[in-house]
Structure 1
């Protein structure tokens, strides 16, 4: 057989994630929207990285993020939810050829039948200077300035790496995100004073002593790295939301169950249950893990394999004014041609 179309691969991945009765538990009535609405967004020279995001407490729903790293000039998404993205795509197509590691994309909120325009995501990693031309191409030049200014005030070990925003929302903040380096993670896990000093240097003051203790606990539990998130408002002030993504860093699907039963990822999730910000549905999310390699004919001749995988990637833990909020789980769904 030939390689699956992007649309067919996405449908297989999503249906596998929802198989064995998981759909209603994890995704609720947003599942049908999540099956169809992202299809026009499946563009690029390779299958996008697809992230399935759902809450671990309260009403179930599914948000879908699609990230691209190899667009060509002239690529377009045939959906009004993509907004005016042509100049952004064309700029990115050229910039990504000169700078490795970049990605951009969209986040689709399918929880409501009246879906808003997709949020925009950009990951410049260490190339902070690319934020301004990206947002210029998006028609949001002031956002690039916000990103640059916030990047300059980040303390050592808290470097920004990516950002996101909802367009057409009055006074919507710019979400800035980065990866905490290991030395800083270990230091903040050992000392609430270190963590508090870093947050104050960032400009974030909406924390409590209990939040500092909870962040410390998670930093000590997380098996891989963590990334952090703040909201920056148009006047440069930070909002009252702080979040971290606890990365599982599980490389192979066949070890997922073991890692969540006896390893650090499972200890993280049981801690979230103990705090009351997750219920037992995270175990259903783990069971959504899927891996299959199908034999295909390669375009250049010969045989290869088309690998389809769904794997848990991280849990998001969020505080608002220092108070824990319901957590979320993220699955990564990928379709990859293996020569």
Structure 2
């Protein structure tokens, strides 16, 4: 069965999943998917599709595994310890340069999530006011590593700010207490800052100054991909449909997430999902297909990583991604 034929059959199966699940289960294949981090709003569509039986209907017994960072996800997928994963694409490229056998098959964060936050009451109105201030984030934070690219983009010196080591969970409290002047964070947590700081909140997304590398993306082990192309196509299309379904109606998707992950707040997850939708929407994902990669932006992501992260072995980024497994019938909308 070709990928095209499989997609046509899959559309019927997904539409009638409760009817076909018992039959599909007889030929199901176990597939592990390691997340980039612990479950959050950006993973809700995966739990929704699993709860609806869509992966079962496609012949996939999906095991969604909690993660501990994009680096670990890329390493595990790259060595074949798990078949699929979610990782920030620059981190996946770094792993690839070190020998990880992986390929990106679908973008989740088609826009960069990197954002800088500050309090307007500190006298900062924008990056032109950053010089002489402190910026808090972990020592290995990607925003710190790529700071030279940001500084160049906004026209300030690389040493314009002083970095302060701040744990991820301490970023907001440290900013609130005035122990640092600026913090870096992902945009999907934007609403937490709005609620904490209100009108005093200042922020700038890196994409607004022309720095827009791909963020979290779905990656697949190369050997698994070579041997299971039709299964990967089925996974990607179900996943595309799930994310689009959650764009249309988030409530049941948040329900599925909360049913499978403890300690999460519904309102916070709903807020995060609204920001995730913004990160998913680009010309490529709206006009061509949800999750679609643009070759020029792939190259730009590679060039940025190569410049500031020192790839161990250079490679052609065209060999590290593919759009071949995505359906162009499923498109993102502008939120």
TM over 0.5: no
TM-score (norm 2): 0.25
Structure richer in strand, relative to its length:
1
TM-score (norm 1): 0.25
Structure richer in helix, relative to its length:
2
